[in-house]
Each structure stands twice: as structure tokens, then as C-alpha cells.
């Protein structure tokens, strides 16, 4: 019998584009791996709020570092009573105070004390709050319980009220200055930073890379400072930026009340306090230091908001 003929089914196979496939693989290999900080920077570069706030912040810092670039007039030595509450003239674009001092020169030179107090207090709060909050969140147990109760005690004391009481102590009044005021603000400002750090550490401490570090025999403190805290730095940076503006306002408030920086030291708070009685007759003396204070604080607040949006992976749209 003749053998049955076999049916051959043809299969279509798409041609392999070797060059395109190889190029795609090479592009994937050459591309840098994505991470939180790189994605955050891409988001920040497209955020106009970040750009505006960063430019304002850099401008204020430049004024603080180099006030002589903006004015050659001395804020105190050229005060003449004949110019009291005077209108703007050549070389004195903002007019004069009730003591005949140049408002423009005082605004420019007064930025240094206010901003330095803010940076000093922020640095102190960062060091104290990050260490205390990191220990509480990483070790937990009785360490967390004790630190949390201490934080609750300090949370019950308002920042300004606590600073007023502490700065009223004779020893603090005799040594009033930028460092003293920064320390006082640190004493009452660290609990918020500690709580934020504790929450961030609690989210990170059970991650897989932390378990791997433990399995390799790393010590607890080494894991905390080398792995946990760097990966929990996002919210810490945001709170530090916002706190900087808060501390600048706190310094101006205390100086306005007469218990912050000594009267011999230029400060926006002192100028606002001195210009208050002449609000109707010479509003410019109150307007310009208040405006500079508002712009400075607003720039740091806006920068903190932009960083918060960029460093929050859940809130950022893909």
C-alpha cells in the first residue's frame, strides 16, 4: 500500500533584528539605575516653586555673606538726628529711621544675625533630633519609651514661650548672642525633628538590606548610622528646611520683645520693634525689614514644600 503523504505545516517566524535588539539591550545597560534622589532631582528641576525659592534663598545667603557688595554705608556710624524720619535721598534709597540711620544699610546688615541664628538652631536641632530619634526608632523597647516620654514633655512647652523663660535667666541674658540664642532654640525645637526621624527610621529598619547587614555581622550602631539614617534622610531634610524659616521668625520675635539678641547687634527684629512707634509717621522703617524677613522665611518654606513633594514617592506622579 502506498504510504500516506505527510502534511507539512509552515510556520511564520518574524525576522530577528539583531542590530535593534542589541542596541536596546546596550541602552538599558548604559542607563543609570533609578533611585529616590535622582528621581527627586528630575522632579525639582521642573518645579518652578523650587527654582524661585532656591534663587531667593541664594540671594539672601549672598547678602548675608557679602553685605558690602550691596551697600558701603555703615548702619550705625552715620546716624544723624538731622535725618530723622527723612525721605529717600541719593545713596539712601529707603530713607532714614527715627534716629537718622540709613534704613537700607540696616536691612542689609541685619540679615546676618537673623539668618545665622536660624542656621545655628537648625544645625543643633539636626544633630540632637536625628541622634535621639534614630536611637528611639531603631532600638525600640524601653529606649523608645523613655525618649518618647521626654519628647512629650518638651512638646508641651511652646517654642517661643520656652525661649522667653530661658532667655530671662540672668546667666543667659549676660551672655546673649547668636550662639546663646541658637542653643536656646535648639533646646525647645529638637522634639519635632526627633519624632520625624523616629518615624522615618521605623519605616526603614525592617528593610531587606538592613537584614542583610545584620547577617553580615555589622554592629547595631554601624547599621543605624551607615544604612538606616542615610535611607531615612528624605523627610529629615524637608523638616530641616522648614525649621530654618521657623527659627528665623523665632529670633525676630524674641528680638522684637527685647529678650533675644542684645540691642547692640543688628537684627530685623530689633528694627521692627524700634520702628513700631513711628508706624504712622514713618511706615518705611517698619515695612522694609518686615518685607525682607517675610521674603526670607517664605523662600525657605517654599523650598521645604518643593522638597517634600519631590521626596515623597507616593505623592509623586509617575
Does residue 247 contact residue 189 with C-beta atoms inside 8 Å? yes
CATH number of the domain at 110-310, please?
A: 1.10.3720.10
Q: What are the cell numbers at 17?
A: 533584528
Work out the mean pLDDT of the chain and round it to a whole number: 81
The answer on pLDDT for 235 being more than 80 is: yes
Question: C-alpha grid cell for residue 241?
Answer: 528646611
Tell which wins on pLDDT, 190 or 312.
190
- Give which of 17, 13, 15 is closest to 25, Cα–Cα: 17
pLDDT score recorded for residue 277: 80
Asked whether 40 and 311 are in contact (CB, 8 A), the reply is yes
- Judged against a pLDDT cut of 60, whether residue 259 lies above it is answered with yes
More confident residue, 73 or 114: 114
> pTM for the whole thing?
0.80
Lookup: cell for 31 = 542607563
% pLDDT > 90, the chain: 14
- Please compute the mean of the pLDDT values over residues 197-218 and round it to a whole number: 83
Average pLDDT over residues 254-281: 85
pLDDT attached to residue 23: 52
Please give the Cα distance from 296 to 245 (Å, whole number). 7
Of the pLDDT bands very low, low, confident and very high (cuts 50, 70, 90), residue 186 is: very high
Indicate whether 6 pLDDT > 70. no
Residue 2: predicted pLDDT: 54
Which residues neighbour 109 within 8 Å (Cβ) at sequence distance 6 or greater? 67, 71, 75, 266
pLDDT band at 183 (very low <50, low <70, confident <90, very high): very high
Amino acid at each position: 500500500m502506498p504510504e500516506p503523504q505527510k502534511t507539512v505545516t509552515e510556520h511564520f517566524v518574524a525576522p530577528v533584528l539583531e542590530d535593534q535588539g542589541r542596541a536596546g539591550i546596550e541602552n538599558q545597560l548604559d542607563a543609570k539605575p533609578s533611585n529616590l534622589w535622582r528621581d527627586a532631582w528630575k522632579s525639582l528641576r521642573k518645579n518652578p516653586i523650587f527654582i524661585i525659592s532656591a534663587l531667593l534663598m541664594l540671594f539672601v545667603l549672598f547678602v548675608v555673606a557679602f553685605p558690602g557688595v550691596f551697600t558701603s554705608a555703615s548702619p550705625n556710624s552715620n546716624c544723624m538726628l538731622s535725618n530723622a524720619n527723612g525721605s529717600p535721598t541719593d545713596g539712601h534709597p529707603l530713607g532714614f529711621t527715627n534716629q537718622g540711620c540709613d534704613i537700607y544699610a540696616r536691612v542689609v546688615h541685619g540679615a546676618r544675625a537673623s539668618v545665622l541664628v536660624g542656621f545655628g538652631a537648625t544645625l543643633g536641632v539636626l544633630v540632637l533630633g536625628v541622634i535621639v530619634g534614630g536611637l528611639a526608632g531603631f532600638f525600640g523597647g524601653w529606649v523608645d519609651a523613655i525618649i518618647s516620654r521626654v519628647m512629650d514633655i518638651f512638646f508641651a512647652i511652646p517654642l517661643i514661650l520656652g525661649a522667653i523663660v530661658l532667655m530671662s535667666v540672668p546667666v543667659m541674658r549676660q551672655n546673649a548672642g547668636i550662639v546663646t540664642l541658637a542653643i536656646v532654640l535648639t533646646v525647645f525645637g529638637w522634639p519635632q525633628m526627633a519624632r520625624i526621624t523616629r518615624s522615618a527610621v521605623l519605616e526603614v529598619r525592617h528593610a531587606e538590606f538592613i537584614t542583610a547587614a545584620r547577617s553580615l555581622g555589622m554592629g547595631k550602631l554601624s547599621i543605624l548610622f551607615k544604612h538606616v539614617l542615610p535611607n531615612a534622610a528624605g523627610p529629615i531634610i524637608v523638616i530641616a528646611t522648614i525649621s530654618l524659616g521657623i527659627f528665623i521668625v523665632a529670633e525676630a520675635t524674641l528680638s522684637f520683645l527685647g529678650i533675644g539678641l542684645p540691642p547692640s547687634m543688628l537684627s530685623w527684629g530689633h528694627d521692627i520693634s524700634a520702628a513700631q512707634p513711628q508706624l504712622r509717621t514713618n511706615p518705611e522703617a517698619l515695612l522694609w525689614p518686615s518685607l525682607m524677613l517675610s521674603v526670607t522665611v517664605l523662600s525657605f518654606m517654599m523650598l521645604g514644600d518643593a522638597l517634600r513633594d519631590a521626596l515623597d514617592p507616593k505623592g509623586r506622579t509617575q
